[in-house]
Structure 1
Amino acid sequence: MLRRGRATRAAATEARAGGPYRVLASTALGVVLLAVVGAVTGPRWDPVPLTDPITVATSSTAIGDAPPARTYEVRTSVVTVQLDGASVRAQISEPVGLDEPAPGVVFVHGAGTGRFAQAFVEQARALAASGVVAMVPDKRLDTYTTRHRDYVEMAADYARSVALLRTHDGVDPERVGLYAESEGGWIAPVMAAQDPALGFVVLVSSPVVPPREQAAFAVDSYLRNTGVPHGVFRAIPRAVGMSLPGGGFEYADFDVTPYQRAMTQPVLVVYGTGDASMPTVQGAERIVQDTALAGNGDVTVRYYEGANHGIRVDGDVSPRFLRDLSGWVRGLPATAASEPRIAGAQPVQTYVAAPVPEPRWLRDGDVVIGTVAAAAGLVVLAPLLVGGTRVTQAVAVRLRRTGEPEDGEPRRPPARFGRGVAARLALLGSGAVATVVALVVYLVAIARLALDYERNDWVVQGGWLAVRVLGIAVVVGAVLLARRVHRLGAAGEPVAPGVVRKVAGWAVVVGSAVLLAVLAYWGVFQLGI
Structure 2
Amino acid sequence: MLFRTIATSAIGVIALAVAGATMGPQWDPVALTDPLMMESSSTVIGGPVDATPVGTYEVTTRVVPVQLDGTVIEAQISTPVGAPAGLPGIVFVHGAGTGAYVQAFKTQAHALASAGVVTMVPNKRLDTYSNRHRDYVQMARDYERSVEVLRAVEEVDPDLVGVYGESEGAWIVPVMAADHPVLAFAALISAPVVPPREQAAFAADSYLRNTGVPQGVFRAIPRAVGMAFPGGGFEYADFEVTPYQQRMAQPTFVAYGTGDASMPTVQGAQQIITDLAVAGNDQVTVRYYADANHGIRVDGEISADFVRDLSRWIDGLPATATAAPQVAGDQPHQTFRAEPVPTPRWFGDGNTVLNTVLGACGAIVVGAGVWLCARLLRRRGTGFAVGLGRPLFCLGLGSVLTVAGLVWYLFAITKLALDYDQNPWVVQGGWIGVRLLGIATVVAGAVLVNRLDDVRGDPDRQAVQGVPAVASLALVSLGSVVLLVMLAYWGVFQLGI
Pairwise TM-score range, normalised by the shorter structure: over 0.9
- Pair 1:525-2:493 in alignment: yes
- Pair 1:159-2:141 in alignment: no
| Residue equivalent to 2:476 | 508
Secondary structure of the residue that 2:75 maps to in structure 1? Answer: strand
| Residue equivalent to 1:479 | 446
| Residue equivalent to 2:52 | 69
Q: Amino acid of the residue matched to residue 230 of structure 2?
A: P
- Kindly provide the CA deviation profile for residues 36-76 of structure 1, in whole angstroms up to 9, marking residues without a partner as x: 10011100000000000001101100001332434001000
d(CA) in 2 for partners of 1:491, 1:39: 38
d(CA) in 2 for partners of 1:392, 1:22: 36
d(CA) in 1 for partners of 2:196, 2:303: 26
- Kindly provide the CA deviation profile for residues 408-431 of structure 1, in whole angstroms up to 9, marking residues without a partner as x: xxxxx5522110111111000000
- Kindly provide the CA deviation profile for residues 436-479 of structure 1, in whole angstroms up to 9, marking residues without a partner as x: 00000000000000000001111000000000000100110000
Q: Amino acid of the residue matched to residue 127 of structure 1?
A: L
Secondary structure of the residue that 2:69 maps to in structure 1? Answer: coil
| Residue equivalent to 1:22 | 4
- The answer (yes or no) to whether the contact 2:288–2:331 under 8 Å persists in 1 is yes
Q: 1:434 aligns with which of 401, 421, 431?
A: 401
| Residue equivalent to 1:370 | 355
d(CA) in 2 for partners of 1:420, 1:393: 19
| Residue equivalent to 1:261 | 246
The alignment's TM-score, normalised by the length of structure 1, stands at 0.92
Q: Amino acid of the residue matched to residue 88 of structure 2?
A: P
Q: Amino acid of the residue matched to residue 425 of structure 1?
A: L
d(CA) in 2 for partners of 1:73, 1:522: 57
| Residue equivalent to 1:468 | 435
d(CA) in 1 for partners of 2:278, 2:353: 42
d(CA) in 1 for partners of 2:83, 2:298: 32
Matches within 5 A, 1:185-196: 185-196=170-181
Q: 1:80 aligns with which of 43, 58, 65?
A: 65
d(CA) in 2 for partners of 1:504, 1:391: 14
- Pair 1:458-2:425 in alignment: yes
Figure out how many residues of one structure are paired with residues of the other and give that number.
493
Matches within 5 A, 1:330-479: 330-393=315-378, 414-479=381-446
| Residue equivalent to 1:10 | none
Q: Amino acid of the residue matched to residue 385 of structure 2?
A: G
Shift of 1:127: 0.3
- The answer (yes or no) to whether the contact 2:52–2:315 under 8 Å persists in 1 is no
d(CA) in 1 for partners of 2:234, 2:13: 35
Q: 2:463 aligns with which of 481, 495, 498?
A: 495
d(CA) in 2 for partners of 1:369, 1:426: 23
d(CA) in 2 for partners of 1:77, 1:254: 35
| Residue equivalent to 1:399 | none
| Residue equivalent to 2:294 | 309
- RMSD (CA atoms): 0.9
d(CA) in 2 for partners of 1:208, 1:109: 16
Q: Amino acid of the residue matched to residue 50 of structure 2?
A: P
Unaligned runs of 5+ in 2: none
| Residue equivalent to 1:34 | 16
Q: Amino acid of the residue matched to residue 491 of structure 2?
A: G
Shift of 1:484: 1.0
Secondary structure of the residue that 2:96 maps to in structure 1? Answer: coil
Secondary structure of the residue that 1:37 maps to in structure 2? Answer: helix
- Pair 1:100-2:85 in alignment: yes
- The answer (yes or no) to whether the contact 2:399–2:441 under 8 Å persists in 1 is yes
- Kindly provide the CA deviation profile for residues 307-364 of structure 1, in whole angstroms up to 9, marking residues without a partner as x: 0000000000001101101111111111101000000000000000000011001000
Q: Amino acid of the residue matched to residue 23 of structure 1?
A: T
- The answer (yes or no) to whether the contact 2:255–2:287 under 8 Å persists in 1 is yes
Shift of 1:486: 1.2
d(CA) in 1 for partners of 2:368, 2:482: 18
Identity of aligned residues (%): 59
Shift of 1:383: 1.8
- Pair 1:147-2:132 in alignment: yes
Shift of 1:28: 1.1
Matches within 5 A, 1:112-123: 112-123=97-108
Q: Amino acid of the residue matched to residue 172 of structure 2?
A: I
Secondary structure of the residue that 1:67 maps to in structure 2? Answer: coil
| Residue equivalent to 2:273 | 288
Q: Amino acid of the residue matched to residue 494 of structure 1?
A: Q
The alignment's TM-score, normalised by the length of structure 2, stands at 0.98
Secondary structure of the residue that 1:346 maps to in structure 2? Answer: coil
Q: Amino acid of the residue matched to residue 59 of structure 1?
A: S
d(CA) in 2 for partners of 1:495, 1:44: 41
- The answer (yes or no) to whether the contact 2:368–2:476 under 8 Å persists in 1 is no
Structure of higher CA gyration radius: 1
Shift of 1:496: 1.2
Unaligned runs of 5+ in 1: 1-18, 395-412
d(CA) in 2 for partners of 1:374, 1:320: 56
Q: Amino acid of the residue matched to residue 22 of structure 2?
A: V
Secondary structure of the residue that 1:491 maps to in structure 2? Answer: coil
d(CA) in 2 for partners of 1:448, 1:73: 41
| Residue equivalent to 2:159 | 174
